[in-house]
Structures are given as C-alpha cells and as structure tokens.
C-alpha cells in the first residue's frame, strides 16, 4: 500500500487477519521522515489492512476511498499424478510396427 504526499506526518493502519491466517489483529502508526515523499506499507500476511487515520504536518487529513486493502494468499497449485502402463496398446502397437517393418 503506498500513501502519497510530502505533507503526511503519520498514518494509522489497522490489520485484521484473514480467517485461518496466523497472526493477531493490530493497529500500528507509520511515521514519515521529512522529505520522504510517499509512505510505503508492506502487507506481510493475508487479511484486511485499513487506513484509520492520517495526520499531516500541519493538520489532520481526510481518508478517501479506497481506504481498505484486502490481501489474499492464494494456495499453491498441486497435482496428484499416477501413471499406469497400457499393456494392450503396447502389444498391439509393437505387433503392428513389426508387421510394417517386415513388409519393407
């Protein structure tokens, strides 16, 4: 999540973990350094991150939409594979090939 502006002093973000995700809910303040520009907040876990307060250098700010960022952790794809030989096909194709080769 990137919050832009040179006049931002502090941003308060609330985190609520997704169902089944590890971690606890929290509210955290992120402060900017003078001249930093944009404030980047990294989402480290699945859940909902909501900007609940923005304070500027001179005065409090307004939160415009979208103020919420939902992070979804997609499960890794998996596959179960089982290989079985087809003996009837192997015997048929082998005999068919031998017939063609002997006629050459």
Sequence spans of domains, the chain = 2-76
Task: Tell me the C-alpha distance between 7 and 26, whole Å.
Answer: 25
Q: Output the six-digit token pair for 52.
A: 């609940």
Residue 37's CB: how many other CB atoms inside 10 A?
Answer: 12
The arithmetic mean of pLDDT across residues 63-67, rounded, is 75
What is the pTM (predicted TM-score) of this model?
0.60
**Segment 74-86 mean pLDDT:** 82
Backbone angles phi, psi at 9, to 5 degrees: -105, -40
pLDDT > 80? residue 76:
yes
Give me the pLDDT at residue 27, please: 94
CA nearest to 53, candidates 86, 87, 10, 21: 10
Overall residue count recorded for the chain in this entry: 104
**Rg over CA atoms, the chain:** 30
């Amino acid at each position: 999540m990137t919050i832009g502006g040179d006049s931002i002093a502090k941003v308060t973000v609330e985190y609520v973990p997704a169902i089944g995700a590890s971690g606890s809910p929290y509210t955290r303040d992120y402060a900017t350094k003078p001249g930093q520009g944009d404030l980047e907040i990294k989402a480290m876990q699945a859940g909902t991150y909501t900007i609940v307060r923005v304070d500027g250098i001179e005065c409090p700010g307004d939160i415009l939409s979208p103020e919420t960022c939902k992070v979804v952790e997609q499960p890794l794809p998996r596959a179960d594979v089982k290989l079985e030989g087809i003996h009837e096909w192997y015997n048929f194709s082998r005999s068919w090939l031998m017939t063609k080769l002997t006629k050459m």
